[in-house]
Structure 1
């Protein structure tokens, strides 16, 4: 097999859902030993195309060849058996099973009817070591942080003898060291002749790891690019149909005055000890830090979502938040990192999800017409792409689901402090711009914003001030208007300001 022989060819792929055409004659060609990036805005059709490849969906039209042979998997199990392994952005792990059980589910070594647990643990450990994971194979997956679950999903793909490995936003929850380990894994896989389809919205990752890229827009393939001779701006222009900077630095003057939120101390033994953190009305304060630095723990503590000692004041008065309900009554709103588990009711419509906070009733009792009327402005401002307000939110792309979570709080109103935990995880460049425009609009109305993100360039572009967390403590703060990004990055990694 030569370097130019096709490992995978998808031709004329069409997929229709009620009220929409998700894919309209898509073409995709992937070579052996290649990292082929699949790019496009949220809703462009990337995930649908990969679900067809995996066997989760059946195409309405089109053909697939795998190493020159017809390929038409009826189920994901059939796809895996044929050599297609998919690591989805929304992980398909079983939370109640151990890491080892997840990695070798259905493929564990056996002696007669009995699982050889020692051999299974050895194989699982080898797969985890390959992706740089240090947590035990006996850990229950549901107890692991999201970054560790992501590494588990990648390791699971390595235990299968896959010819094509699809990675859908693999770096969305990973820290820098974890991402470097994943890139080494990708390079070793392609060196063995395996093909990797890499989906990411981070242009720096695409340019570093990719060989070629296919760009999807509105359910169609609009171009194939050799990444050695293509710049990020050209790729972005192909994705959105126009050139231009999507997330620029704020030109608002830095807010002044007394703090709206003052955190004297937020403490969780062994995890968090943040002191003297202020946020003024209209101020966007970014929380930077490596994975495990305490950003999520801090936001959950302020929102009353975990047991913590929180000494804080809101507008000069003591803030007593004993539960999320108490936080909402006080004017706090949280957009959580895990939207599917904590932010949405996937079996209900877009409008019911976005209206539930505003109407204060169980979502199944919400009047449809009232919900649509209340939520329409926020959904439109955020650019939510759906076939209509009645579409199930679980059918939306991940980025559009995240927009619905924010729309829920905007529709409710009365927000005084907005807590954002990785709000752009899985969002394309255009969707990120929509979200940050809305965040700035809320800040312009006097809302205090705490923005936790692993995307330092987004923090420097959108935050008025950046607080660096390291091992649970806030160790430095910067004005991104005057501090170079490399100085902030140095502090994020080392925990010490130069």
Structure 2
């Protein structure tokens, strides 16, 4: 892949990125969140078309305008968000579109035989007649890997395959990777775990801000050098919040949030008026933590609110206690795009489904919040789906402000997809709420935003909170080091 450029509205995700993979090697692709890894792989798979640059396979230039063309060229991608159909069986998923037939009839018994062989090759021992949705997540991951192998791909991309696998299953995947490369196939392995990279990889390409910044032979490289490549040498302490840190007893005390094999967080506190950041790589547990606090999960939660023990078994109970969640996906989880701005912003105040409430009730309940947040809209009757991303996010905030009684605000990737101006505007609104006494817990993949807009930054790594930093006194690169490795430099971390 040469000189790959990919632009999206308001951002350049790839800036003349380069990637060269040899036949029969395991090539690790590294970079922080937002470095461009997934976008580069989607270009390789044919899901995105590059604005500039070229792809060559065996020295021949190829044009991949769809995932189907990518598969035809011998490229299979196993995405972290598994590309499986939940209501089909394992066998049906593995041979979807390629099932053995006799005339127009699928040979079901033969399909099961082929599926069993594919699952056995990846070390799976679960029935291929089971529906995918009924399998544990590790078995689903192995199914996705087996599906890629049934296509006879020559280039196989594994995007964070270990995120959902235990040690035993990971050993099986490593053995499979070695057998694939021994056959002359190439594996592109994306991971943030340096121990995996050093064990399984032959070479590594490091992306930073959409650019290729290093290509290293792993036998001649240390994990520390790779981390330095990922972080960069120029990122030092950035401008941070300039107001005094709130004092007094914590308003929110997270004593423990635990779910076996997924999350084990203890001892996070947020005072009234304080903004505490949650940093971490994808899969570190930030979203799981916030959803669990909001009563939307299966974790065991122990928390105190204003010194009193509370049990929040549902989102409704969390709302009654004064908690509010702005979810990662505002379009899927935060808004009803087919309803008006007024009805969306007033939904938490109406006490009934918004489509059953009179329009004027939503307008009346949300008018002050929409005005205070500066939401740009033609009228309260305008469909919320017609607004810009920044204004949609403000409507999600307005929903909670208009209800009143807000004590704790949980924000999950609140600036994702927003332009620079919309981001700055949103953080001003969050700071205003904090100044009014709201406790804010904010998760973001953008470490620079966290260090500039929070009072403290907790780092989550593989489901655990491993260190707490003061962004006023700690260099951003030191926090980034902990985000990537899970270990703290000797510079201001509080275990």
Which residues in structure 2 correspond to 1:369-384 (within 5 Å)?
none
Tell me the equivalent position of 1:163. 154
User: Of 86, 94, 109, which residue of structure 2 is paired with 1:103?
Assistant: 94
SS at match of 1:172: helix
Tell me the equivalent position of 1:441. 455
Q: Tell me, yes or no, if the aligned pair for 1:356 and 1:362 is still in contact at 8 Å.
A: no
Per the TM alignment, residue 161 of structure 1 is displaced from its structure 2 partner at its CA by: 0.0
2:154, 2:335 → 1: CA distance?
A: 35
1:121, 1:409 → 2: CA distance?
A: 54
1:163, 1:96 → 2: CA distance?
A: 29
Q: Does 1:360 align with 2:375?
A: no
Q: Does 1:212 align with 2:203?
A: yes
Q: Tell me, yes or no, if the aligned pair for 2:17 and 2:211 is still in contact at 8 Å.
A: yes
Q: 1:362 to 1:75 in 2, by over 3 A?
A: farther
Q: Does 1:85 align with 2:99?
A: no
2:305, 2:450 → 1: CA distance?
A: 24
Tell me the equivalent position of 2:462. 454
Per the TM alignment, residue 295 of structure 1 is displaced from its structure 2 partner at its CA by: 12
Per the TM alignment, residue 344 of structure 1 is displaced from its structure 2 partner at its CA by: 8.8
Q: Does 1:130 align with 2:93?
A: no
Per the TM alignment, residue 106 of structure 1 is displaced from its structure 2 partner at its CA by: 0.7
Q: 1:146 to 1:351 in 2, by over 3 A?
A: farther
CA displacement, residues 243-295 of structure 1 (integer Å, 9 cap, x when unaligned): 8999xxxxxxxx9999965989x999xx99x9xx987667x9x9xxxx9xx99
Q: Does 1:185 align with 2:176?
A: yes
1:181, 1:341 → 2: CA distance?
A: 35
Tell me the equivalent position of 1:351. 390
Q: Tell me, yes or no, if the aligned pair for 2:155 and 2:186 is still in contact at 8 Å.
A: yes
Per the TM alignment, residue 89 of structure 1 is displaced from its structure 2 partner at its CA by: 2.4
Structure 1, gaps ≥5 residues long: 1-9, 247-254, 364-374, 392-404, 444-448, 464-484, 486-498
Q: Tell me, yes or no, if the aligned pair for 2:258 and 2:299 is still in contact at 8 Å.
A: yes
1:76, 1:107 → 2: CA distance?
A: 15
Q: Does 1:16 align with 2:30?
A: no
Tell me the equivalent position of 2:32. 41
1:80, 1:25 → 2: CA distance?
A: 24
CA displacement, residues 184-203 of structure 1 (integer Å, 9 cap, x when unaligned): 22111111111011112222
SS at match of 2:13: strand
Q: Tell me, yes or no, if the aligned pair for 1:97 and 1:141 is still in contact at 8 Å.
A: yes
Tell me the equivalent position of 1:176. 167
Tell me the equivalent position of 2:492. none
CA displacement, residues 66-99 of structure 1 (integer Å, 9 cap, x when unaligned): 1233321221111112210011222222233222
Per the TM alignment, residue 385 of structure 1 is displaced from its structure 2 partner at its CA by: 7.8
1:169, 1:48 → 2: CA distance?
A: 14
Structure 2, gaps ≥5 residues long: 238-246, 338-384, 403-408, 470-486, 488-495
2:415, 2:327 → 1: CA distance?
A: 20
2:250, 2:9 → 1: CA distance?
A: 52
2:254, 2:208 → 1: CA distance?
A: 44
SS at match of 2:18: strand
Q: Output the aligned Cα RMSD.
A: 5.0
Per the TM alignment, residue 384 of structure 1 is displaced from its structure 2 partner at its CA by: 6.2
SS at match of 1:42: coil
Which residues in structure 2 correspond to 1:8-407 (within 5 Å)?
10-242=1-233, 303-305=294-296, 314-315=305-306, 317=308, 319-332=310-323, 350-352=389-391, 354-360=393-399, 387-388=419-420
Q: 1:308 to 1:59 in 2, by over 3 A?
A: closer
Per the TM alignment, residue 353 of structure 1 is displaced from its structure 2 partner at its CA by: 5.7
Per the TM alignment, residue 227 of structure 1 is displaced from its structure 2 partner at its CA by: 1.0
Residue range with higher mean Cα deviation, 122-131 or 188-197: 122-131
Q: 1:18 to 1:150 in 2, by over 3 A?
A: same
2:249, 2:401 → 1: CA distance?
A: 39
Q: 1:267 to 1:208 in 2, by over 3 A?
A: closer
Q: 1:24 to 1:116 in 2, by over 3 A?
A: same
Equivalenced residue count is: 392
Per the TM alignment, residue 216 of structure 1 is displaced from its structure 2 partner at its CA by: 1.9
User: Which one has a bigger Cα radius of gyration?
Assistant: 2
Per the TM alignment, residue 212 of structure 1 is displaced from its structure 2 partner at its CA by: 0.8
1:51, 1:121 → 2: CA distance?
A: 30
Per the TM alignment, residue 342 of structure 1 is displaced from its structure 2 partner at its CA by: 5.6
Q: 1:339 to 1:68 in 2, by over 3 A?
A: farther
What TM-score does the superposition give when structure 1 sets the normalisation length?
0.62
CA displacement, residues 347-384 of structure 1 (integer Å, 9 cap, x when unaligned): 88553464344211799xxxxxxxxxxx9xx99x9996
2:141, 2:46 → 1: CA distance?
A: 21
Q: Tell me, yes or no, if the aligned pair for 2:148 and 2:156 is still in contact at 8 Å.
A: yes
Which residues in structure 2 correspond to 1:482-497 (within 5 Å)?
none
Q: 1:389 to 1:116 in 2, by over 3 A?
A: farther
Q: Tell me, yes or no, if the aligned pair for 1:38 and 1:198 is still in contact at 8 Å.
A: yes
